Structure 1
Amino acid sequence: MTGLFRRLVKPGPAMLTVIIVLAWTAAYVSQLSFLDMVELNTVDLRFRFRGERPVGPEVVLAVIDEQSLKEEGKWIWPREKIARMIKNLADAGAAVVALDIGFLEPDPNNTIKPVEEAERLVKEAGALTPNLSESFGRLKEAGDNDRILADTIKASKTKVVLGYFFHMDRKELGRLDQGEIDSQVENVRSGRFQKIRETKEGRRFTGLRTAIMPAANIKMIAETTDYSGYFNMVPDKDGTVRWMPMVIKCENHFHAPLALMAVRAFRNEELSLEIEDFGVSHVRSGSHEIPVNETGHLLINYRGGAKTFPHISVSSIIENRVPRENLKGKIVLVGATAVGIFDLRVTPFSEIYPGLEIHANVVDNILHEDYLWRPNWATIFDLAAIAFLSAIIGFFVPRSRIAFGAMVSAGIFAFYLIMCQFLFSSQGLLLNILYPGAAMITTYVAMTAYKYISEEKQKRFLKNAFSTYLAPSVVSEIIKNPDKLALGGEEREITAFFSDLQGFTSISERLSAHELVALLNEFLTEMSDVILGEMGTVDKYEGDAIIAFFGAPNDLPDHAAKACVACVKMQKRLAELRKKLAAEGRPALHMRIGMNTGKAVVGNMGSAMRMDYTMMGDTVNTAARLEGVNKIYGTYVMISGSTFSEASHVIAARELDLVMVIGKGEPITVYEVQGLPGEVLPAQTEANHHYARGLAAYRALKWDEAIAHFSDALAALPTDGPSMEMFRRCQNYKVSPPPSKWNRAYSMKSK
């Protein structure tokens, strides 16, 4: 236990992982609003990946669409038409009619006033007879559309749910009269919860949506039914409607939305509400629990995009053209969808979505109890995922090669995403993606940075330890020519050699200092022997890196060929060494090599007290860059075009690409050395053939053709690193093409 504690508090990967886990746990508990919005956007993506879901048979939408406007005239219609629609729906056996329409003012199409004025004039003229008075009465009755609608609703066997809305902002109302507020509140009394339990602490809860006053239906219509519900919707900050407020408080009364009231009428149930100190604890329709958050909001489980529910044109209902079986026993939601008169909403499925269909989704969710849900254990699961998944990545990445660490991290991340999507699609279960995902990414980045810094630190240590050693060839040349001890150098053509061990940090962390030195000595001895055997000069060792050159101090006309042969032999010798190391239970070593041929300054450089026989110049810098370019292509021996032209007769190599390395103004053609002539395996030969064709198509900007050739190369040799890189690059360029003046060279972003 003490040892574990020491590892956790000791600066290193374990402590770094603990800090990251604690930071993201604190962010999760704090419920930062901008991060919660990002999480909601992941829910939107989950909806889209899930796709549409079948809806229940209970809900039908009666829509005021373009066809209705064409047949019945432009909106606003006389309410007599709405009355006819309700009567025809009732005659067809509809169970409930819920109106996403408000009748907030007297019908502007009423003809009562002209009739009353005519009656007054006739009466003043003394010409009003009983028969004429009766006729005026019939005309007034026929012209009172509000009365016609009210009488139709009152007489209807089908339950009618009236719609209204709440004013939520005092600024939009100006000066208020309490009498008017009381009157409006009274007109929506049919929209209240029937059973309310509010604890003493619950009365102090301020998180409920609270309205200033309702915009109610006119009294004549409002008092005709026992059911009414508000159609307010509250989008999130990004404008997307994800939640339905299932309760709004106004003047100490609690009101239910149109969708919930439609369900109440359909099931003939009472609505109950419970509020405790933390907020809303229960919303029920009869015995059916509706899962809401503490502010009384339901996260809508959208069934799909627009027109997921059956649509029937209102004009077809008014003109009685709809078969009874399409309406019998249904909940009919009535609202507008015609362009110009309906409210467009943004939902997870669409940026253009009728508000009427949002109510339909809520009704369907409640009827089938098909909700998005987060059980009590979900929070514990989220926090455990943050800690456990970060710990796995924090353990593997520092101890693994970069590629393997990245693969493990990506695999864990992908597994978690797939699991969350599966549970969402199959169970409606909501697990948090953002916080565990962010914790995993942060841990991977931190561990990779730590690994890089540690590797550089270790290399500096080894460089200092080995810098006092001189190459034997330099000693031999000094014995022949003592004048070379003087400071200075000469320009001559050489082949510069740079090598580095892959994943050296993870190796060094697994070994004791003694074991590491022993391993490194054995490796450097084996490799140096090959270099010296091909007449090369070992310039220096920088940790696990070997810096050497061919062509100095001894004249060597075929220095490029010697250098390439040395590379092939070194890789063969290293393969034999790996077998020996494996048998001894020691880690495997893999080496990357970069070489370039050209002019460089070679000689003794330093100070009078300390000098070193070394090389300098652009040729040297380019060779160093090429060693690092191997990482991009997954290769182990990379040479420049100048080296290839001097050594092509003694090696088997393939052209890889044009590369723009850091510090060079012109691109360099690079080649991969694969062995000596006749040593390349058939699978590699076939891959080389497809790769060459793919490279030609790539340079001709024929992305699909190039992708096909690189795919064929990978089919021949699935482990071919250059084909993997070019396949990925072509896919990226197909989506985001390079600039028009692109020189066909890949630009390195780092050394």
Structure 2
Amino acid sequence: MKTNANSVNKGSSFFSKHADVLVPVVLLVLAAFAAIFHAFSKMDLRFYNIMLRLSPEVEHIEDLVIVDIDDESIASIDKNWPWPRDIMADVLIRMKEFGAARAVFDIEYLTPSEKAVADDLEQTARNEIDSAGQSLTESVDTLFEAVSQGTISSDEAKTALEDSIGGVLYEMKRNIEDGFNKDNDDYFARAIQFFGNANLTVNMRNIGIRREDSENAYVNERFLFSNVSDPHNLIASGNAYSVREEGKTVSAGFIPALDRLVRRAAGVGFTNVVVDKDGTRRRVELLCEHEGKYVGQLAFAPLAAMLDIQSMERTSHSLLLRGVLSSDGTRHDVRIPLDSHGRMLINWLMEPYENSFVHIPIWRIYNMEKEEAVLAGAVQNLLSADLGLLNEEDREKILSAQDFAYEYKNLEHEKSRLLRKCRGFDVNGKALKGGITDDDYENYFSRRRKFFSRLNEFAQSVKNISSAESVPEISRLCEASEGFCRDSQTLEEMLSGSFCFIGNSATSSTDLGVTPFSKRYPNLGTHANIVNTILQKAFITELSALWGIALAFVFSMLCIVLCRNMTQGKKNAVGLSYVIATVCIIVAAMVFLRIYIPVFIPLLLAVCIYIAELVVNFIRVNGEKKHLRTSFGSYVSPLVVAELERHPEKAKLVGGESKIMTALFSDVKTFSGFTETINNVAGEDAGAEQLVKILNIYLGALSDEIMNCKGTIDKYVGDEIVSFFGAPIDDPDNAFSACEAAVRMLKAEEKFNIEYKDMLPVIKSTGEPFYLHSRVGLNTGNMVVGNMGTEKKLNYTIMGNNVNLASRLEGTNKVYGSWIMASDSTWKAASSSEKNKAKNLVARHMDFVRVVNVDKPVRIHNLIGFEGDIPSARLEAAQLFNEGMKWYLNGIETPAEKKNHEDFKKAIACFKQAAECYPEDLSSDVFIKRCSDFLREGTPSVWDGVFTMSQK
């Protein structure tokens, strides 16, 4: 026995001597586990936002352009979103003319749109007939020339001519018929191919839309990357992790855009984004595995095509892009660092969305259609204008505008002809039946540039002829021409060579997200930030929190070892250095090197080690806390002990502080009868022992619920419990905590009566056990709390009128047939608490009561529990009771006016329904009697709804 004692003493001595080293080691292990299991990840994300704000802002690429479908565009073009797809088709054709290099649609075109009737059907038919004639003339000329040169025989020419005529006439017929049943999807699809480098979407989640196997096979064969090396299947595992993070109802899928659109696009990319646990978008997957190939992210896929990446390799923490084409024609490799699940951290621009990158409201591009139509109309109006006041030479000059009208029709025919060539691409990306050639584009756009340039020169020349003011159509033509040329030049300067992102950024859009710099950031800008991060190579490398933990531990141990012989004050001062150094180094790595190390756990480790060292040193030189536990722990709550340990000076002070708290009084119903029954059954001496035993268990169960809800037990007065909420630990929701404790006390009471049924005395008259039931009173208000007494005897307690009111409210339960009675101040504070939103306290709202020795009446409320725990019948009864109470109290706002007796009749009806719905509802009987008495005896001259208590 002596040897064992010595061993224990030696062990304790060893721990005491080396606690300053052993405790940090234990904390190191705990921190490592916390990092491995990603504890405190949300706190780390907040610190990440702060460090990102401290970092130098990344520059943005000028050629990245965001084409916004903003509020102004929706109001200007079409208020009904989504728009008819011919609008986007016209925009794409304009963007091509203005030199845009690439277009990425952040819009999912997953289903066909409805057919429409062409607005210009008559003109379309005429244009188609003219275009067909022109095409036939060209075909005939070509065939006769071939026959004359002997290239083909006359029979072959005849067959070719028949095919040509049949094809042109069929195309003309189909296009005219389409005017009656306009297919905007077809027009949009042709515009996509006309643009040349348009990228559409693939949704990588199962959203309930199916595609034919042939459609998916086309996308898989043509667009998915096959030059990706991933020997350890890291991409697929990272994709699976992202799907799991989105929720249980989400599953992987593969839903490309509408097939007829995809077959004319230059590429596709997936739209799905990564949202961190705090709801913020910081990172993005660049690749998604699908059937052995890989889909690129919406912005990354066209970027990979632009950079002509030769191959990609997925390593443990990066994506290596091999053979990236530089602007000077050389090739190099780019390594993109990835997080532990294969996502790239986006280096966001810090400016607000509208101030970052180049933004063009889409209405400005689409408006060119209107301006061109106005200009074409101005030419026609000039031809039909009254030229009577002009001389013959000037009239002939103006009438020469007929050439422009004719040329404009030819340009429209040429546009239609080129769009007819847009028949899609095969799986190798080769245009079907040749498509549009570079010469076609050059010829068409060159003709348009020359046309509008000559038209503008013409407009300026006729503006200066004599008597021009007599022909207002001249000035209108000049204004239309000048505006069109000016706006065309501006847009060409903005769009030439641009990498465009098209999508909805209107305030009504649901496609908004949270970024480290904005609470409402259009996700359209996310794609631009992704491309900008990669092109600027402004990558952020994320390391494991274990690196920071190691850093914090090494610094702390160095300081501890070096400071062992210092005084306590110097140890405390030097100890702060390793806390500060840990944070500074991690922040500096992010700011200057773009290396992100999660800082919270390393910081927490450093702080905990610092605190632990303070505690170890304090324990060595001070034993006051142990004395406080011994002295006070037996008669005050654990929370009070904890408060005294933090502030031992409070144990020496007499007095207290005033604060808003909630007092809870509980008292056992008919306790005297309970005591008498025990004595009758067991005798005086044995009965007293039995009473104490039962009461200790019963009050202990109720007290546990009080303390579990942050309450403090003040005292026990026989069968009564006096307690309060809101001290010594501040609790802003102390009213709700008290209400919750009261509800839980009744549940604990019910459980006690079942478990200890055999211990309870039996009532002879009924043969049933004498069950214990407590009534509870609650009041919230200003109270004085603190240590009251002398140096020899202190009691941590509460005082004040609001405390007394809680005691009186406990007594009102006897009159009202209830168990939990709360004052109006308690009910208002509890029901408006944030905590109540999840649980929803239910109460029967009573009248006003004037308790003994208190003149001011108070509204009272009978708590019956939380909504989810209450039987439906009792809930319905409570609602009926509250409806009755409205009629009962009706008129208290105007007490001088006579009370309407019909209100009592309506109240009685509601109270009777409540009693029938829930027969145990004794309060309804109380108010039925009161209403009946008022109907029989009359109401007071002043009706204020106040009931005056005659006893406590």
Q: TM class, shorter-chain normalised?
A: 0.5 to 0.7
* Cα separation, 2, equivalents of 1:297 and 1:443: 33
What SS does the aligned partner of 1:359 have?
helix
CA distance in 2 between counterparts of 1:165 and 1:417 reads: 41
Tell me the distance in 1 between the aligned counterparts of 2:213 and 2:39: 36
Residue 63 of structure 2 corresponds to residue 15 of structure 1: no
Other-structure match for 1:408: 574
Corresponding position of 1:288: 334
Alignment-derived partner of residue 111 in structure 2? 105
Deviations 1:466-492 (A, max 9, x none): xxxxxxxxxxxxxxxxxxxxxxxxxxx
Distance 1:98 1:202 in 2: 27
Measured in 2, the distance between the counterparts of 1:350 and 1:316 equals 26
Give SS of 2:502's match.
Answer: strand
Give the counterpart of 1:228 among 257, 268, 292: 268
Q: Deviation of residue 368 (structure 1)? A: 0.9
* Correspondence for 1:59: 64
Match of 1:726 in 2: none
Contact 1:243/1:299 (CA < 8 Å) preserved in 2? Answer: yes
- From 174, 187, 192, give the equivalent of 1:153: 192
Cα distance between partner residues in 2 of 1:137 and 1:207 = 45
SS of structure 1 residue aligned to 2:257: coil
Matched, 1:140 2:308: no
Question: Is 1:313 matched up with 2:361?
Answer: yes
Equivalent position to 1:665, from 655, 672, 686: 655
The aligned residue for residue 32 of structure 2 is 25
Q: Which residue of 2 aligns with 1:166?
A: 204
Instruction: Say yes or no: does 1:266 pair with 2:306.
Output: yes
1:324 is displaced (CA, Å) by 1.5
In the alignment, structure 1 residue 366 sits paired with structure 2 residue 412: no
Q: Unaligned 5+ residue runs, structure 1? A: 1-5, 120-129, 462-627, 632-658, 668-739, 746-750
CA deviation digits over 1:31-77, x for unaligned, max 9?
Answer: 21333343233212212333754322121110100111011102111
| Counterparts of residues 221-260 of structure 1 (less than 5 Å) | 221-260=261-300
How far apart in 1 are the matches of 2:650 and 2:310? 74
AA at the equivalent of 2:503: G
Q: Is the 8 A contact 2:349 2:529 kept in 1?
A: yes
Distance verdict in 2 for CA 1:134–1:54, change over 3 Å: closer
Counterparts of 1:285 and 1:314, CA distance in 2: 36
Taking the aligned partners of 1:396 and 1:339, their CA distance within structure 2 comes to 59
Please name the residue that 1:324 is paired with: 492
The aligned residue for residue 619 of structure 2 is 453
Q: Per the alignment, in what secondary structure is the counterpart of residue 453 of structure 1?
A: helix
Q: CA deviation at 1:424?
A: 1.4
2:506 matched to which residue of 1? 338
**1:735-750 mapped onto 2 (5 Å cutoff):** none
Deviations along 1:110-164, one digit per CA (max 9) or x if unpaired, are 449xx9xxx9xxxxxxxxxx9999567325068221221222222225x211123
Report the Cα offset of residue 349 of structure 1. Answer: 1.4
Aligned residue in 1 for 2:347: 301
Give me the whole-angstrom Cα distance separating, in 2, the residues matched to 1:662 and 1:189: 83
Q: Do the aligned partners of residues 11 and 271 (structure 1) sit closer, same or farther apart at CA in structure 2, a change above 3 Å counting?
A: same
Distance in structure 2 (CA, Å) of the matches to 1:134 and 1:14: 90
The whole-number CA distance in structure 1 between the counterparts of 2:16 and 2:620 is 18
Deviation of the 1:283 alpha carbon: 5.4
User: Structure 2 stretches of 5 or more lacking a match?
Assistant: 1-12, 126-167, 244-250, 325-332, 369-486, 628-645, 658-780, 787-795, 797-952
1:181-220 deviation digits (Å, cap 9, x = unpaired): 6634533654422402243776995765576322211111
The one-character-per-residue Cα deviations of 1:409-439 (angstroms, maximum 9, x if unpaired) are 3333233323322331232111231232111
Question: Relative to structure 1, is the Cα distance of residues 409 and 136 closer, same or farther in structure 2, using a 3 angstrom cutoff?
Answer: same
Q: Secondary structure at the match of 2:269?
A: strand
Equivalence for 1:186? 218
Rg: which structure is higher?
Answer: 2
Q: Distance in 2 between matches of 1:256 and 1:249?
A: 9
Q: Secondary structure at the match of 2:66?
A: strand
1:240–1:345 contact (8 Å) kept in structure 2: yes
Number of aligned residues: 454
Q: What TM-score results when the alignment is normalised by the length of structure 1? A: 0.53
Counterpart in the other structure of 1:45: 50
Deviation at 1:456, TM superposition (A): 1.7
Q: Which residue of 1 aligns with 2:593?
A: 427
Asked whether the equivalents of residues 190 and 225 of structure 1 are also in contact (C-alpha less than 8 Å), the reply is no
Q: Distance in 1 between matches of 2:305 and 2:78?
A: 31
In structure 2, relative to structure 1, the CA distance for the partners of 1:662 and 1:397 (3 Å cut) is farther
In structure 2, C-alpha distance between the alignment counterparts of 1:155 and 1:207, rounded to whole Å: 34
Tell me if the contact between 1:194 and 1:270 (Cα under 8 Å) persists in the aligned partners: no
State the alpha-carbon separation in 1 of the partners of residues 86 and 577 from structure 2.
64
Whole-angstrom distance in 1 between the partners of 2:69 and 2:311: 30
Q: Which moved more, 1:244-253 or 1:394-403?
A: 394-403
- Which residue is equivalent to 1:34? 39
SS, match of residue 360 in structure 2: strand
Match of 2:94 among 88, 94, 110: 88
Distance in 2 (CA, whole Å) between partners of 1:97 and 1:204 is 28
CA contact (8 A) 1:345 1:352 kept: yes
CA distance in 2, matches of 1:402, 1:742: 40
Contact 1:244 1:298 in 2 (8 A): yes
Query: Aligned letter for 1:227?
Result: G
Amino acid at match of 1:195: N
Secondary structure of the corresponding residue to residue 258 of structure 1? coil
Q: Determine the structure 2 residue equivalent to 1:385.
A: 551
Kept after mapping to 1: 8 A contact 2:58/2:538:
no
Matches within 5 A, 1:454-493: 454-456=620-622
Rounded Cα–Cα distance in structure 1 between residues aligned with 2:234 and 2:505 = 40
**One-letter amino acid matched to 2:554:** F
Distance of aligned partners of 1:402 and 1:283 in 2 relative to their CA distance in 1, 3 Å threshold: farther
* Runs of 4+, deviation exceeding 6 Å: 6-9, 130-133, 200-204, 458-461, 740-743
Q: State how far apart, in whole Å, the 2-side matches of 1:459 and 1:414 are.
A: 30
After superposition, the C-alpha distances for 1:667-705 in whole angstroms (9 at most, x for unaligned) are 9xxxxxxxxxxxxxxxxxxxxxxxxxxxxxxxxxxxxxx
Q: Residues of 2 paired with 1:147 and 1:246: CA distance?
A: 31
**Alpha-carbon distance change, 132 to 310 in structure 1, aligned in 2, over 3 angstroms:** closer
> Residue deviations 1:632-684, cap 9 Å, x none?
xxxxxxxxxxxxxxxxxxxxxxxxxxx987432169xxxxxxxxxxxxxxxxx
